[in-house]
Amino acid sequence: MHDTTIIEIDKKNSQTWLKTTLASVLLMSAGCAMSFSVWAVDTSVKELRIGYQKSAINFAVAKQNKYLEQEFPNAKISWNEFPAGPQILEALAVGSIDVGVTGDTPPVYAQAAGKPLYYVAYEAAKPLASAILIPKNSSIKQLKDLKGKRIALQKGSSSHFLLVQAVQKAGLTWSDVQPIWLTPADARAAFQKGAVDAWAIWDPYYASAQLEDGAKVLTTGKGLSPNYTFYLAAPKFVQSHPKAVTGLIGQINQADKWVQKNPQQTADLIAKNTGLRPEVSRVFVDRRPKPSGASPLNAKVIKEQQLLADRFSQLNIIPKRISIAEAVWNKN
């Protein structure tokens, strides 16, 4: 009788343990399924064409570490390099790429021209990573001294807005300065030769001119331009593969985590990709906010981007007022 009781108790304990274990397994499986549903990618993606600049740190790391290949194992990933943001968005508009990364001004120009795009994510503001530079022997001392001066910059780039804001702060009008529209490489050559009086530019070109040319900083973007980085996508791609956008943002953040853990390796990678000296790349990396992952646009970012667009429309730099919110992708 006693032995039978013990056997019955053990049997009950075993059944209880089995039920508890099975419940735990089911719960864990459900959790995994929920996690997968949040981060799962659209396996129907067969091709993903990225537009980037060599200085786009998160994309540079994602490219090196093949993060997108891991995220989209069925897709052919192609990396298409451009000199600046405006050229990236032109390629996006004509269907040559699916996703691109730019500064704050290129998408405003593109949207005002009626070119299709979606803002899908942004990186933290980095006003200290752009500047208006002057030669080391320049007589220019303050912003109002820019009146009548020749200033090199990429039209439609983030440096365009920086100069617009600087001119306003100086109490000047846009017609008081002479913008010289040049790509970063051509602007650097003109700056070195003394063919321009100032240069509105972003990192790593900014860091390079500082360290190698002895350029002086007339002003950074602090208090003038937040200098956001935006990830933009073709509406057709987003509508066809909404899960892929979530997966892409996840891998951008994976790349940023790698950057935070490996700043010197990141600087070495950027130096290798751009031909810049490692010490220049390190300044560039160190000047970048920490962290600088990608997030969907929030109300504050949309508002600041709208202020940029409104400023450009007020000055007739773009032909009409646009609504930034209308171009923001909402996964819901």
Higher-pLDDT residue of 7 and 279 is: 279
pLDDT digit string, tens, across residues 11-56: 444 444 444 443 443 333 333 333 333 445 567 899 999 999 878 9
Helix (H) or strand (E) holding 123: strand 118-123
How crowded is residue 29: how many other Cβ atoms within 10 Å of its Cβ?
10
Please give the Cα distance from 311 to 307 (Å, whole number): 6
pTM given for the model:
0.85
Of 47, 121, 113, whose CA–CA distance to 80 is shortest? 47
Mean pLDDT in residue range 79-97: 95
Q: Give the full edge-to-edge strand order of the sheet including 130-134.
A: 178-181, 150-153, 198-202, 130-134, 216-220
Contact 244, 49 (CB under 8 A): no
pLDDT digit string, tens, across residues 180-193: 999 999 999 999 99
Which residue ranges form the domains of the chain, and what is each CATH number?
47-126+228-274+281-327 (3.40.190.10), 128-220 (3.40.190.10)
Report the pLDDT value the prediction gives residue 42, as an integer from 0 to 100.
Answer: 64
Percentage of the chain modeled with pLDDT above 90: 83
pLDDT digit string, tens, across residues 218-241: 999 999 999 999 999 999 999 999
Report the pLDDT value the prediction gives residue 39, as an integer from 0 to 100.
Answer: 44
Joined together, the tokens standing for residue 262 give 């490996």
Report the pLDDT value the prediction gives residue 46, as an integer from 0 to 100.
Answer: 95
pLDDT digit string, tens, across residues 109-155: 999 999 999 999 999 999 999 999 999 999 999 999 999 999 999 99
